[in-house]
Structures are given as structure tokens and as C-alpha cells.
Chains A and B, each alone.
Chain A
């Protein structure tokens, strides 16, 4: 059972890592003028909700399977994601708004955020991997 949880988490985490990389690439494209603000933001806004859901699922899963440490580790990031999503002003076109992304260093802060998330997900990835190994070893030990 443990193993299944972690295998799922691993897959989910992989997806989140890819997503973070995608965010970074798209944002840096915008920075270098390869794409314009409008298309960049519409591309990114599409993935804000999947990212939020994907991350929430893992977190809830950790809560359900009583992995407190991993749950608490994930909690702030999930909270931030949800908060960010809820706090979008009604007139904006999503978390990424093409009319504001160039203002007040927003692009930079989005970039920073994506980088931090990438690091965080990588950390989680290895943690899940380790936990998976541990649980498999435990299962094996129990069988013996």
C-alpha cells in the first residue's frame, strides 16, 4: 500500500517538475521577446489549475496515508498556490496577466517562484523515491 502511494506521488511529482520547467521556459521566452505577453500568459494560465490540483492531491494523499513530515513540507507550497489563485483580482485574466506581467518586476518574481518550485519538486522527488525504496524494503523485510 505504502509503495502504491509513493509510486503515485512520484509520477505526480514528475509531472509537476515538467510543469515547472515549462513555466520557466515560457517565462524566459517572454523575457527574451520570443513570444509576446498575451500568448505567454494564456499558455501559463491554462496550467495553473492543473498544477494546483496535482499538488493538492499529493498533499492530501500524504495526509491520508499519515506521512506527517511530507504533508507539512508540502502544505505551505500548496497553500501558496491556492492563495495565489484565489487572490487574482476579478479584472485580471488569471494568475499571469499580460497587461501587468511587465510591470513592477512581476516577470522576475514569477520566474523566481517557478525556480523555487522546481527545486522544491526535485527535493520531493528524491524524498518520494527514498520513501518508496524504504517501503519496498520494509515490505520485503516483512515477507522474510
Chain B
């Protein structure tokens, strides 16, 4: 909220006020005048039917607000919980009913002849105050109708002053003051300490969204035992309340029932179907849906709850032992809790024993602490994917804990003091994926959102109830009152059981926020597309792909009846498109003054998607051909972004920028900084940081106006991504990069763009969001990683939030945690859904505190640690240098392993010892050193490197891990052994192979899963049956060099392979592109560079790296 309230609006005041003057003169005069001067703005005759006009509907923000008021009733809230990709047909279609029928002018845009008009740059600098002259110059509509001359009769212009004057005040009134320094911290209803506490008066019974069709509620425990009420939770705490009579408002009922359905209905092929330790119930119901990276069995976290269900009966008995402040949770020696696993899940045993943080029964110490001599262990990589370790909590807490997919800590056992943490030499931090697509999410509609009065923590499963009327905050330990409303449980329709409320039964919940959490009415979904149409862009040909995707997904764009959309294109000038309803075809307005950009018309540039649907379609059909003959090679990206900012600032929303080259004109122009000869330099890699602060400033301005900028960079040469990325990084946007994109020469990139766009356009989106992370007193957060702007110490300002965004936070221990045995972390993400609802998604994670180094090592989460280290290394390479960052990575391994070595000094020192929990640490660090972002000595283009760094910063853990260390499977001998069943399909589960050429046999075929791309490598002597059955070619020689699809053949092998591939693809939001790589093709280099355990000319092999680490330790 940088801009003080005045200027933003003041500016628009001028903007909007201005036209009334010039327009008033009336038709006869305005026409010729406009014609005379307009060269600079709109140059180009365009054939078009007469009789359009601005007189259409002048619809301001007011309309939107009014619409919002009764919006809640729409059933369209249903798909909230779904990953849009998986159920596109479910998605926002439900709100269609409220749409106005689009104007049926199906007039196809007259052949684009007139559009690609010759540019006649008449310098016409608009006076600073937007005085009348530039406006009168505009009169684009008049021009449109009559490009020949002054005979235009601007029939519509008289309407304008009225419309404007009507629209403008509304605009001013509708959004409340957008920002002021004082408000800043609270801004979009942020859970600020100074925000007024939610009402605490007794109110009507609440309506509750209920996720689970449920079991009957368990009989409550005594209140005397309430201290640990959370421990007593029933496995399926919630029963359906969709039939709850007490629900006050229909709209809430709508929302609720939708959430109920969404959570209850199994979504096949959904990424998240199997996620989550926090949702034990999902597992039972969705066992048949694909597990993303957890292979056959649900991971240990869910396993525990399942078993807990069996054991849950005697709550009353087992429970009192927990009483005194969770003593037991930390107390039982690891073996105690761990030992329960093998009994309950013998099947999981061999899988998870590898690195699950679980112990074998035989071992006196937990499996995760078993010392391993890395130099002698040949196959350090387990055959099944690596799980997240389970915190060493008692079963009840574990069952309630947040899913590791949303919330993960690098140390699942928090050291008591900073000194202990320093001794362990492991990074401490959180990895967050807060807006993940969830299949099951309790949505709570309640008048009072219960929060701690001093630290504003949301009530969560880990608070303790002192008695029936008071609860103790688990973050600041303040004792709070339980509000009257909270005493009533709408699920069970019983009174006096606050601990049975869904807020206290689920560590991931979503609240529908009241108006206390808004500083202005929730904004509509607003999408603006800013497209590069220079010669370079036309060469690349992305526009056709984009327009096609948009046309296909126009109905699936998340939003409601207020959704607005706009388009801008730019080369050396900026082109706006007036899509006001009522026109028979889009108007193009050209602004050639890029030094002082202004909006050519106050309305019609961002239009309601449903009212102007036909015009939008016409435009999208015409756009790809409009600029085909352009000779303009310059790109005025900076000014275009400034214009986009002006256009978006009244509402906020999402700007998608498509850029194909280095910006070369106007503000924010960049020079080429890359020296191609330095690409494979082993010494210094320069220019990792931005060259100018223009994009950063712009991003902060955008962020202040709740606008996020997403960048799609499709370039064949260096485009200074490090500078351009700033516009997305600080405005909470996302970055996509397609090196050497060309629509015909590079079909795989084009396919990737298509797939990415499909996901991008249809995925869930949250607007005007803020995220606050809180942690137990004594811990503090000091560095944040991801795409956002840190507005105040712990408040992340996210103009947009999307389900593919991940975040990381570094923690330090400020005060000793000796007097507590548990610490909690809570993230609260407040956002406006695309349906115009203000929602708060809260995740709470609870972890034990430990006092010994061994326990800290036992609880280390190697994947989370690697992701955090990668984030830190990116920071380090930008602020210091790449070699510093690489050294720091190596030191992280050396330090942590030597710290471990010193604790097990009684063991022989012949090899490199590591606890089982960290046995993959050196491997992953080596993989990181060979990653594009950090590698040296191998030729890497600067933009590729920077893009890899951007991805590290913004990807959630699951995707990042695959990027760092891909999964390799042998697929020519798939069997049904160990296969899992997903939706009546048999999905084989080939074991993981280590990433080394020694595993590649010439007789085999291998699949490498790099997250966003799949490679299938075909060996030279590969079984011809496989080639014939799966690839559909008679022999190896006849396989084409470029192959990106597997044919659908009616053979068992083909079926198995495709079923496995589909299963992998379904498990992630972006469906990856497949490359079939023949052993002899030049493309195999790409495949081989991912084999991180092998030696390259510039880097160690895994074994050499281990020796190097060992040497460093013994020094």
C-alpha cells in the first residue's frame, strides 16, 4: 500500500473528468477535429459498420459491487475445492445462468486489412493535466465509422458526458479508501494485531460447512479432561450439516453444501486425492485414486490415523496420560511411538523404513537414526519415492496435523535452543504450499472467527481448553474466552462442546470471512492480457496458440458474473481494444506516445466477460492475423506495463504479459548483458541480478493496487529474464519461460505452452490476498522466499495467489523453548475467491521440541532441507556470487555430516557416516550443484539459469524435488507386480533407479520424470517387442527423432506404459511434455545431463563427491 489514498483516485478523477469537456461539443465539430489530430493515437482506417458508439452501457465498478451483494447465492462456489484441471466440466459453468446473453452480433471482423494500419507517428504529447485537447483527439469511434473524413456524425458522443459523470462518482464511492499508511498492515483484512477482534457477542447459531459425510459424533469426553481435548478427536469428527435447519442464509447453505459435495465426491485423477496426513478420511474413501508421488500405500502419516481409528475407541482411557501439557508427546522415546508402525502396517514397512522416520522393530533406535556408511552403501536411493518424515508426536496429534504437502518443516523435531540448532548445522525453515488444490477442505461459515486476542492466532486443533469457557492459545499462551457462538456445534447440534467444532478438529480449514476482513468490497476477477505483437513475436507465432487457448477456456476462466477481461498489444506503440458491449466489432486504439502513457478511453478497455463475449471472441479470432505483416521490431514493454498498471489499478487483478524479446523502447528498456563466451565459465557468472529497478518499482506499485503480473517469456535470444522476472517476483505473479519458442520449428515447446495455458487459465485464483505466518513464541521468522512482497515483518502481500505457488521461510530460535514440548506454526491466507468471497485458509502444523542432537537428526526432513537450501543458495548467488552459493551448499553437507559424525564418535571412522534420515543429503546436494541454476562448467544460457532460479524460489516442494532429482524408471518390462489400482486401471509401479548411466542398459527403455518434462530413453538394442508394442514402430531404426506421444496400441505393454504415464501426469497440475529420446539422437544430451550421479567434465560423480565431503570433514 505504497500509494497514499489520494493520488490514485485523484489521478483517475482527472482521467475521467476530462472527456466530458471535449465530448460535449457535439457531433459536427468533434468529428473533424478528431480526424485532424488523431494520427498519433489512432492511425488507420478500419472498415466497420456505422452505428456503434460509446453510448453503450457505461458500467463502472458500481455495477460490480451491486452484483456482488446478492452473489452468494450462486451455486458456482462448488468447484472451490477441486483442481480445475481435473474436472473442467464441473468448473465454473454453474454460474452461467446469471449471464446476460451476449450481444449476438456475430459480425466477423472484416479482414484485417485496416487493422495493420500504417503508423504515422505524429508526436502529440498529452499535456500533463489531460486537458481537453488530447481527449478530443481521441474520438476513435468516430474514426472507426468513417475513416475517410470529417463527415462523421458522432451520434454517440453526446451521451458520454452523462455516462461518464454517472459512472465516475460510483467508481469513486464503491471502493473504500484503498490505502493509507495506517491501514496498511490491516489492509485486506489482514489478521493484524490491531484489527478489531471479531465480535464476541453471542449470536445466532452458525451455519457450518461440513466436509465429510460422517460418522455420528463421538460421545464427548469430560470437560475436566479438556486440557487435551484435541487429542480426543474422533477420527471422523464431522457429520454432515448440509441439512442443518439453523442455517440462516440460503447463500451460505449454498456454499456449504457445495463444500460438502466437493469434499465428499471422489475426484478421479486428482492430484490431491491421496494427499495429506491431515485427512485420514480421504484415504479410506479415495484409496482408489492416484497417489501422486506416494506409491501404492498411503504414506505413513495417513497410515497412523487409519490405525488410530481402530484404536480410537478407548479415548477415555488412553487419554488421561496425555494430560499435563502434552508431556507424553515428547516424552516417549522414539522407539516407543515408532514401533507401532510395523504392527499396523506391515506392508508399508519395507517401503517406508528407508526414510520414513520410522523404525524397524528390531532396532533399538529409530530407523531414521541408523548410521549409514555412505561410501559403502551402493544403492542409497530407495526403490520407492521418498516420503515426508512424520513428526514424532503421539498418534492423536499426528492425526490432526497438517498435511506435509501443504506445510513442511525442515526439522520435524524442533531443537530446544539456537545453540542446539547451531550444533546440528541443519537449516531450520518451513516449506509452504498454502493454496494447493485440495479435494477435501472444511469450509466454515461463522459469524465469529475465533482468534486469540493478543496474537490473533486462529483457533486450531492444538490449542488447549482450560475449561468449557476458556481456551489457551498455543502460540502466545494467552487464555481467551470461548465466544458463546462457539459453544454450539452445528454439526452435532449440541451445545457445550467447543472442542468438537470443525475448527478444532482440522488443521486445514477455510473460513468465509465477514466484512471485518475487507477494506473494500471484494474485487471481481479481472484479467488483462498484454501481448507482444512485434515482428519477433509474429515470427514465433505464439499468438495463435494463446488466442486458441483463450477461446477454448473463456468459459472456464475462474470468476463470476462480474468477471472482467481486457486486451492490450504492443510493439513500439501500445494498442488498446475497446470491447464495450454494443459495438459490433472491437475498436483498436493506438497510443504512440510511450513516454507518457495514458489510457485512451476511460471505459470499455476492461469489459465484462459475459456482456461483451461476442466482441471478445471476434477479437481473439482476429488477433493472430492482425499483425502478420508487421515490420516493427521494437518492443515498448515498459510503457505497456505502465499502461496496464493504470488500467488495473482501480480494481486489481491479474495481468498476463507475453513478451518475446528484450524490451528496447521507453521506460524499462534493457541491454543485452550476456556474453555467450562466458556461458560455460567455471569462475564468475555475472548479471544474475536485475539491471534496473524499473520492474521492481512497477511490481511494487502493482502489488499496492492488488495487481499481479504474470510473465510468459517466449524468446529465442537473451531477454534479460533476471530484470524482467522482477515484475512477477514482487507482485506475486508467476513466471513461465519457453526458450527458443517457435510454433512450427519447436513443436514440443508449443505443446508445453498449450498445456501450461490450459492450466494457467483454468486453475483456481485468489485475489487481493495476504498471508501471515505465525509461530510459537520463541521462534521467529527472518527470511522469506517466493514471489510476493513482504509488507511488514510477517505479512506477505500477495496480489494474486495461485495453487502452484510455493513459499519458504527461514526460522531462528530466539528464546529457548525449554518450557514447552510442542511448537506450532500457523499460516493464514486471506484472499478473495474468484466468486467474490473473502476467505481465509488456515493451516496449522504442530511439531515436538527436542533437547538432544540425536533427536534433531532423527527428525530431519531431507527434502525440505534441500529445498530450503536451494532457496538460500539462490539468494546467495544473487547477493554474492554463484561460487559462494556452491560453496555454501557443499559446506551444508560437510557441516551437518561432521556434526553427526561427532555424535557417533564411538563408531568406526572409516567412511562417511550419516543418519538414515540424512542419507540422501549428499546426493541431493550434488544434484543441486548440477542443476541448471547452480552448475558451472557446462554451457548454460543466462536466461535458463535465471529461470531455474525463479522456479526454485516459487515452486512448491513436490515439484521442486522432481526438478532437482528426477525419478528414473525402467519401463520396458513393466509387470503388474506391486501395481496399484486407480479407477479400474492397473498402474504398474516400476522401482526407482538411481540416476546413473550404469543403470541404463542398451536393452532397456527408461522413463525419466523431471516434473515438467518426461523423457523416454530407448536403448539401442531395446527389445523390438517393446518398440513394436509400445511405440508402434517395427524396429529401433524406424523410430523418428522427434516423438512426443505414445500411440494408443492395443497391447498389454502399451496399456501398462500408458497407464503408468497417465498416472504420473495426472498427479501434477501441469501435464508434462513427453520426449522420446533414441540412444543415438542428439537430444540424448538433454537426457544425460539429468543423470546426476555420473561424472561430467565439470563436476564430480556421486562417489567422488562423497570422498570430497569426507576429505573436507577430516580436515
Q: Which residues of A contact B (CB under 8 A)?
A: 30-31, 33-39, 42, 89-93, 98-99, 102-105
Instruction: Check A38 against B700 for contact (C-beta < 8 Å).
Output: yes
CB distance from B1052 to the nearest CB of A (A): 55
Residue from A34, A35, A92, A98 having most chain B Cβ neighbours under 10 A? A98
B107 at the interface (CB under 8 A from A): no
CB distance from B813 to the nearest CB of A (A): 14
CB distance from B793 to the nearest CB of A (A): 6
Instruction: Check B689 against A99 for contact (C-beta < 8 Å).
Output: no
B789 at the interface (CB under 8 A from A): yes
B321 at the interface (CB under 8 A from A): no
Specify the chain A residue showing the minimal Cβ separation from B1: A36
Select A99's contact among B184, B700, B704, beta carbons within 8 Å: B700
Instruction: Check B789 against A98 for contact (C-beta < 8 Å).
Output: yes
Q: A90-B690, A99-B696, A99-B790 are in contact. Are A36 and B184 (CB under 8 A)?
A: yes
A-B contact list, 23 entries, CB within 8 Å: A35-B181, A37-B790, A37-B791, A37-B792, A38-B2, A89-B689, A89-B690, A90-B691, A91-B692, A91-B696, A91-B726, A92-B693, A92-B696, A93-B696, A93-B697, A98-B700, A98-B789, A99-B696, A99-B730, A103-B782, A103-B784, A103-B790, A103-B875
Instruction: Check A90 against B692 for contact (C-beta < 8 Å).
Output: yes
Specify the chain B residue showing the minimal Cβ separation from A108: B782
Q: A34-B181, A89-B879 are in contact. List 10 more A-B contacts (CB 8 A).
A: A31-B793, A36-B792, A37-B790, A38-B700, A90-B690, A90-B692, A91-B691, A93-B696, A98-B700, A103-B782
| Chain A interface main SS type | loop
Per-position contact with A for B38-56: 1 when CB-CB < 8 Å, else 0? 0000000000000000000
B783 at the interface (CB under 8 A from A): yes
Instruction: Check B782 against A105 for contact (C-beta < 8 Å).
Output: yes
A89 to B880, CA, bound (A): 10
Q: Which residues of B contact A (CB under 8 A)?
A: 1-2, 181-182, 184-185, 192, 689-693, 696-697, 700, 704, 722-723, 726, 730, 782-784, 789-793, 795, 875, 879
Select B793's contact among A33, A35, A39, A90, beta carbons within 8 Å: A33
Specify the chain A residue showing the minimal Cβ separation from B730: A99
Q: Which residues of A contact B692 (CB under 8 A)?
A: 90-91
Q: A36-B185, A102-B784 are in contact. Are A91 and B793 (CB under 8 A)?
A: no
Q: A36-B184, A38-B2 are in contact. Are A93 and B693 (CB under 8 A)?
A: yes
Instruction: Check A91 against B690 for contact (C-beta < 8 Å).
Output: yes
Q: Which residues of B contact A98 (CB under 8 A)?
A: 700, 789
Instruction: Check A36 against B791 for contact (C-beta < 8 Å).
Output: yes
Instruction: Check B704 against A38 for contact (C-beta < 8 Å).
Output: yes
Q: Which residues of A contact B693 (CB under 8 A)?
A: 90-93
Q: A38-B2, A90-B691 are in contact. Are A33 and B181 (CB under 8 A)?
A: no
Q: Which residues of A contact B691 (CB under 8 A)?
A: 90-91
Q: Which residues of B contact A38 (CB under 8 A)?
A: 1-2, 700, 704, 791
A67 to B531, CA, bound (A): 63
CB distance from B878 to the nearest CB of A (A): 8
Instruction: Check A33 against B700 for contact (C-beta < 8 Å).
Output: no
Q: Which residues of A contact B795 (CB under 8 A)?
A: 33
Instruction: Check A91 against B723 for contact (C-beta < 8 Å).
Output: yes
A93 to B181, CA, bound (A): 20
Select B181's contact among A39, A90, A92, A104, beta carbons within 8 Å: A39
A34 to B181, CA, bound (A): 8
Q: A35-B184, A36-B185, A37-B792 are in contact. Are A90 and B689 (CB under 8 A)?
A: yes
Q: Which residues of B contact A104 (CB under 8 A)?
A: 782-783, 875
A88 to B2, CA, bound (A): 22
Q: A89-B689, A105-B782 are in contact. Are A36 and B2 (CB under 8 A)?
A: yes
The 7 lowest CB-CB distance pairs between A and B, nearest first, are A91-B690, A38-B2, A102-B790, A33-B792, A36-B184, A103-B783, A33-B185
CB distance from B352 to the nearest CB of A (A): 36
Q: Which residues of A contact B700 (CB under 8 A)?
A: 38, 98-99
A92 to B695, CA, bound (A): 10
Residue from A30, A31, A38, A92 having most chain B Cβ neighbours under 10 A? A38
Q: Which residues of B contact A31 (CB under 8 A)?
A: 793
Q: Which residues of A contact B704 (CB under 8 A)?
A: 38
Q: Which residues of B contact A39 (CB under 8 A)?
A: 2, 181
CB distance from A21 to the nearest CB of B (A): 20
CB distance from B697 to the nearest CB of A (A): 7
Instruction: Check A99 against B789 for contact (C-beta < 8 Å).
Output: yes
Specify the chain A residue showing the minimal Cβ separation from B699: A99
Q: Which residues of A contact B723 (CB under 8 A)?
A: 91
CB distance from A94 to the nearest CB of B (A): 8
CB distance from A18 to the nearest CB of B (A): 22
Q: Which residues of B contact A89 (CB under 8 A)?
A: 689-690, 879
Specify the chain A residue showing the minimal Cβ separation from B782: A105
Q: Which residues of B contact A33 (CB under 8 A)?
A: 185, 192, 792-793, 795
A92 to B722, CA, bound (A): 13
CB distance from B943 to the nearest CB of A (A): 16
CB distance from B668 to the nearest CB of A (A): 12
Instruction: Check B783 against A36 for contact (C-beta < 8 Å).
Output: no
Specify the chain A residue showing the minimal Cβ separation from B726: A91
Residue from B182, B697, B700, B879 having most chain A Cβ neighbours under 10 A? B700
CB distance from A84 to the nearest CB of B (A): 14
Q: Which residues of A contact B192 (CB under 8 A)?
A: 33
CB distance from A91 to the nearest CB of B (A): 3
CB distance from A73 to the nearest CB of B (A): 31
